[in-house]
Every structure is written in C-alpha cells, then in structure tokens.
Structure 1
C-alpha cells in the first residue's frame, strides 16, 4: 500500500538523518489526500518562538517565503479583474507619492515584471539572519515607509538581467494589490482565494505599520497549503469555479530567469527538474515547500523547523526524492 510504503520510507530517511526538523507532510494525488504525516518540534512566528508544538491537521504553520508565491496568485486574480497593472507596465507610475524616485531615469525603467521576477537591479541582500537589521527584509520592515525603502535602494545593475532574491519586490506587489483592490491584502486573500478554496483558518502576520507582510507573513495548515497547490495544478480552477485566470497560471509558471543554484524562476514560483520530474514550487525559510508535479497530478506540502539553517533545503528535497516518489513508483 502506497501510504504504508511512504511511512516506511520516511522512517528510513529519519534514521539516516535526511529529514531533520520535519513538522508535517501532506501528499495529494489526483485530487485525493494520499498520505499525511505530522511531527513535533519548535515553531516560530517570525522570530518569536512558539515553543515545542505537536503538529496536526489543524495546526497553523509559519510558511515564511511560500507567502510570496501566494501573493503572486493574488496578483493574478486582481489582474484578471483589471485592478492592478500588467507586468509590462512601469512600476514607479503606480507610486506617485515618490516623484523624486520617478525622476531618476534608471529607476524609471522598472516595470511590474521586474518585481515579479525579482530582477529590480537594486542593492538588496537577505543573506544575513532574519532577526538582523542587516537583512534587507528586516530593514524594510523597520523602515517608516517600506515601499520607499525598497524603491530608493541604490541601483547596481540594469533591471531584468539577473535574479536576486528580494522580499522587497513582493512588498511592492502587495501594495499594488491593496491599492488596486481597495482592500487589505489579507482581506482580499480571504475573499478571493482562501474562502473559495474552503480555507477557513489562516493568519497573515503584520508589520509594525499594521500591514500584512506579502513576503513572509502567512500561516496555514499543510492541508490548506496543499489546496493551493491543487489550484495551481488545475490551472486556476477549484470545484468547477475559475479562481485564477488560466493565462496567469501559464505566465506565472513560465521560466524567465535562473537562480544561482540552477532552478528557473517565473513570477514568484520556482521551476526545476527533480528526480526527472518537472516541478513548480513555492519555497520558504526553514524547509517550507509546496511542490506541484503536473505529470503525476501530484501535490506535496512540507513544513519544517530548520529556520536559517544553510542546509534547510535538504529536508523537503528528501521527502520528495526519498519518500514520496519512490513509494509512488511501486504502485
């Protein structure tokens, strides 16, 4: 039985130290919940420890930067309703409160697509720990105006040429969504995405300004995270109702730039081949991962507690490569 095989393979991977810090796994295949596993460990709400948590189907988990990919889905929904600018549109034209920045010809070249692909060409570093003001995202949250902080960073290269991880890019998208829809990001997300998917329980953390963080503030259960993956797998349709334009799903998952480790990047989603399978993934600090494998009609949601660990990627990759895919191959 596939589920028993997954449990067996997971036990072997745990013994081998390949899945340290694993908090939860949900596997959905062909629209059916195939297998789930929950553990115990320390979780955080950003930098605040929640202590040891016994995880289960109804336990919210910090998703960190998986939030970015959800924000991209919300952008597509708003775009379909004509409420936000298209990717090719100038970015600073949507921030008239910064006329001095718009007057800079280097910044005037920025488009929404440069934010969607994290290729703004601005000086931005997130390699410092996420509890340090040396980290770009943390410095942005501490700034009196997060969007101005992002847009006034020094220009270091032409936009669109190189992918450079930037939570500030997602903050700009969140502001465009809020301005265009006239709703707070979390309210728009509830109405247009979470409620239609049947997601009743979620939390979207806010900064000191009371604004939800588009880059890293979302907390969901692994089951509900998997629902988002199912929506992407189905091309934006859920329960016979179109929630996201099909054209946006296609655009979002079109490779545009390459990351330093070899994955390609679309509009806030990672695209790569894993174990010979094409995948689209949302990734977050600590080992949070939502993986969509279209050819298998498979969605894998992983939550973990390896925050700020340089090897955090190993646990979700091992879950997919050492547990889920080998078990399915035996079917």
Structure 2
C-alpha cells in the first residue's frame, strides 16, 4: 500500500511531466509548422541567403536566378545619320556630366539616328544591366501591345476578368487595368527592408509571385489614391499573360523585341516555369532600351510598322488623376512643381530637379538613376545607365541637348482675319481652373512649402492665329505654341518660385491689329479668364509672396490685373513682391 505522502509526490511528478510534455509538444508543433511554412516557399530563403548585394553593378545582372531569354544574339548597332544634329561639344558636355555621376552607358538619338554612344567603367555595347523599374514602364507598353494584338479590348476592363483570385472580392473586383498601370489600384505598397518577412522584399524573393502579389492587402479604394506598389504592376503583367495565353518572355519577344530587331535580353522568374518579375529586373543593354524609347517617340510605330494602338503613347503620358506628374509607369515633365510625389502611403515627396526645357518631355525611370528620356516634339531619345546617385540632376544633362534642338522660343504668327464681328458668334466655353488640364503649369506640393516661398503667376503672350477672335482652351492645336513659350519664359522663375501658368481664351493675333471695334472686347474676354485663374492661384498659395510675370498680350493682362484687381485688395497688395511686364510700353 502506497503511503499518502508518497502518492501525492507521484501525482505531482506526473503532472510536472505532463506539463513538460505539453510544452515540448507545442514547441514541436510550432517548429514543424515553421519548417512547413518555410518549405512551402523554400526558394525565398535560398534567395535571401544568396542575393547579390549590389544590384546596380552590371557584373551582378546575370547572377539572379532563374532567368529566361527573351532573345539571344547581339543587339544591332543603332542607325547613324550622315551628320550630327546635336553639336559635338554639346554631346561631350552631356557626357562629362554623366561620367561625373558614375555612368556606365549614355546613348543619344534624334529621329531614330544615333548621335552619341559612349561607355565607361568597363562597360560596352553588350553589357547587360538590371533595368530595375524600367521594366514597369515596359509593362505599360505591353498593355498597349495586348490591346493592339487583340488579347485585351480596353485598359478600362476590370483586371478580375483574368485574375480569378479577385473575382469575388468586393474591392479588388473593381480594379481596372488602367488603375494598375497608374498605380491607383489601391494595393498596399508593402514595407521594404532587408528581411524575408518584409512584404516589399518578399516580392523579389518569393517562389510564388502570383500568390504574393495578388494577395497584397488593399490600402485604399480603386482609383482613390496614388500608391506606388510593385504588386500593382505585377498583377497587371499576370493579367496580360493570362489574356494572351503565353508567358511574359514570349510576349515580349513576339510583340516588342523581334519587331524592333532588338538583341539579347532576359527576364527574371520566381521559379523555373513560373512568373516573370515585371515590376523589376529585365536584363538588357542600352541599345535595346534606345529602340524602345524610339518606338515611344514615334507613337508606337517602328520603321513604318505599328506595334501599339494609335494614340497609346499619348494615353501613357496623360497624368494620373491622383498624381499629375505620373503617367502610366513614367514620369511627366509638366506640370512642374518643386517636389514630386513618390508615395502616398507612407507619404513621400522628394525635391525635384529644375524642369526639362521641353514641355512634352517625359522619362522612364529605374532605381539607381536608370533613365530613358523621350522628347517627342524633337525626336530626342536619351538612355543612361549607371551607379546609384541621389544627386543625379535630370535637367543638367538634358537641357543642353534639348536646347541644341529647339527652335527659337519666339512664335511666328500669321494673321487670319475673322469673317465676322466679335459677338456675332458664341464665345468659346470658359475654362474651369479647378481642372489641371486648363493650366500649362500647375505645381504640386504647395501645402509643404514655407510661408516665405514665392508663388509665380505667368501670363503668356499671343500665340494663336486662328479664325475666331478668341482661342478655345481645349483646342489641341493651340497647345504646343503655348507650351513652347511657357517653357522658355516662365522657367526663368523656377529658381525663386513655384510657377503657375493658365491656359486662357487669348485674343487672336488679328485682334492686335483690329481697328473695327473687335480688339477691346476680345481682350476683355481673355481678361475674365485671367481674373478667375488668378483668384484660384491666390487662394491656393495662401499668404505667400506673389511674383507676377506677363509678356506682350500677357503683359497687358498683368498690368490690368494690378490696377483692377490687386490695387483694391489690401491682402493681395501686401503679398505682391515684384511684377515683370515685358513687351509693351508701360
């Protein structure tokens, strides 16, 4: 018979043993679960351990694995013109700056003819580079190619038509392909850190890219916010692949690479036979990217063959509704602002370089200052690959090249006399200055500027020779001339001010010379637009100092604005810092 005290001790020992067994079992289950979770995406852990440290070094471009070829073979030399359109000293000056910024490759072409090709730091014409986010821009190009080739009907279709993972989701089912291309899909950016647990890093490391990208949490309603998100672009490429029924590398080859006659290039996969990383990591050389830029400069036509829908490049270069400097995976030169919205969650605005000296300029951007610049009006394409430089200045290199190609900033006007008196026909509709497209310059980031930072209001001169007494603001034919003088004249204020420049129903050139009573009412109608635009400008810029600039017709309106509006308003009078009135006697 067991003594009561001994029995109690045995019970305590058994309980203690069971407790330890329970703890051990929990630890074992947790360990097995962790090992199972790790094993379900074992490539993530292998990549994390073996990932090359310097992605901007060309020596590492082919070390990422697995990669599959788009095509093999040398990239043909670009076409070379008989004579340089850009003077050699201007090209050398651009190279001197690029070289000082640790550049590997710089290529310049005008109207498809090579002007300059130079390499440094051991690179040559065959050196492959990791394009980083330049692949994002190419994904937006591929959306246009998918539409042109009949795989997709419209960029406004819901992505869930092909992404069945989103079909039953009340938020994701409303995301359109255009939302994804404009970074307005609402998908979370994902914290990026050098960790396999950071969502932003996992997209680079995972062996299950579709699962990771399409499962990205939502941070906003579709179309409501600009959120820079790798997952948005990845989802877009997966939708294109599924719509076309072919893998990404094959689509790139069939729709872009082979028609361009481009050379060797590779895309990076999440696993053998898996998804290509379209948000990053297309491996290619400068010559191939120059051809892509030339395709874009030609509105999607290459050597007489159309590869993209007519007007698709214009669609890509339209500003996003939530970030006017961002198009479809590219950055726009206009409207200019001293800061550029890079992310909205978390919000990040970075200082912006001075404006490029061509309003229609835009560029594709990859991390580490990889660039493809395009100026369609000049036929100019510039490709730069190099080291990561936070002090890279877009304007310092580009504006010399642009200046060598631009015609004089003055606008030559013929005079067409309207065949009717002012007032016999309805006036053009008044522009709504709440809409950014009614401004040639409209800066972002105003709320972050110091109270002493000046705000500039520029009124352009007569640029319109049309057959009515006043220009119609939405008239696309009238815009290039306005943009040209705004770029050459308003830019003088960039160093001191954020500059606003309204498009307005300017009096036509015929009104300048009219002696039959049409001049004053035509100028009066134009002035009503100036007053409304200035009122919007004054409200938006708070109490900051005002710099007023007008030339020719714009000077007349500026002078009248001072006398009729500003002089009678104490608050506006106190804000006036300086007025420049040029082109008329004062």
With the length of structure 1 as denominator, give the TM-score of the two structures: 0.82
Q: Which protein is bigger by CA-based radius of gyration?
A: 2
Q: Does 1:10 align with 2:95?
A: yes
- Indicate the residue corresponding to 1:66 in structure 2: 134
CA deviation string 1:221-255 (max 9, x = no partner): 21221111110111111111111111322222222
- Indicate the residue corresponding to 1:205 in structure 2: 268
- Indicate the residue corresponding to 1:269 in structure 2: 330
Distance in 2, matches of 1:64 and 1:296, equals 27
Aligned with 1:292 (options 336, 351, 374)? 374
SS at match of 1:75: helix
Q: Does 1:105 align with 2:183?
A: no
Distance in 2, matches of 1:5 and 1:142, equals 43
Aligned residues of 2:187 and 2:232 also touching (Cα < 8 A): no
Change in CA separation of 1:329 and 1:91 when aligned onto 2, cut-off 3 Å = closer
Q: Does 1:24 align with 2:100?
A: no
Q: Does 1:154 align with 2:239?
A: no
- Indicate the residue corresponding to 1:178 in structure 2: 241
Deviation at 1:329, TM superposition (A): 6.7
| 1:228-267 matched pairs, under 5 angstroms | 228-257=292-321, 259=323, 264-267=325-328
Deviation at 1:258, TM superposition (A): 5.1
Q: Does 1:305 align with 2:378?
A: no
Aligned with 1:86 (options 154, 158, 162)? 154
Aligned with 1:123 (options 174, 188, 212)? 188
Distance in 2, matches of 1:315 and 1:113, equals 30
CA deviation string 1:47-71 (max 9, x = no partner): xxxxxxx111222211111011112
Aligned residues of 2:188 and 2:227 also touching (Cα < 8 A): no
Structure 1 regions of 5+ residues with no counterpart? 41-53
CA deviation string 1:23-79 (max 9, x = no partner): 111000122101122111xxxxxxxxxxxxx11122221111101111211221111
Segment of structure 1 superposing worse, 266-275 or 294-303: 266-275
CA deviation string 1:100-122 (max 9, x = no partner): x5333222222212111111222
Bigger proportion of residues as strand: 1
- Indicate the residue corresponding to 1:44 in structure 2: none
- Indicate the residue corresponding to 1:45 in structure 2: none
Relative contact order (C-alpha < 8 Å, sep 6+): which is higher? 1
Deviation at 1:137, TM superposition (A): 4.2
Segment of structure 1 superposing worse, 164-173 or 245-254: 245-254
Deviation at 1:134, TM superposition (A): 5.9
Distance in 1, matches of 2:195 and 2:367, equals 15
Query: Cα RMSD between the aligned structures?
Result: 2.6
Aligned residues of 1:84 and 1:176 also touching (Cα < 8 A): no
Deviation at 1:9, TM superposition (A): 4.8
Q: How many residues align?
A: 301
Deviation at 1:185, TM superposition (A): 0.7
Distance in 2, matches of 1:241 and 1:296, equals 21
Aligned with 2:398 (options 315, 320, 328)? 320
Distance in 1, matches of 2:325 and 2:153, equals 24
With the length of structure 2 as denominator, give the TM-score of the two structures: 0.48
Segment of structure 1 superposing worse, 109-118 or 140-149: 140-149
Aligned residues of 2:181 and 2:328 also touching (Cα < 8 A): yes
Aligned residues of 2:107 and 2:384 also touching (Cα < 8 A): yes
Aligned residues of 2:109 and 2:381 also touching (Cα < 8 A): yes
Deviation at 1:20, TM superposition (A): 2.0
SS at match of 2:311: helix
Distance in 2, matches of 1:247 and 1:135, equals 39
Aligned with 2:117 (options 15, 24, 36)? 36
Distance in 2, matches of 1:13 and 1:145, equals 39
Deviation at 1:3, TM superposition (A): 2.4
Deviation at 1:196, TM superposition (A): 0.9
Distance in 2, matches of 1:329 and 1:234, equals 18
Distance in 2, matches of 1:232 and 1:65, equals 17
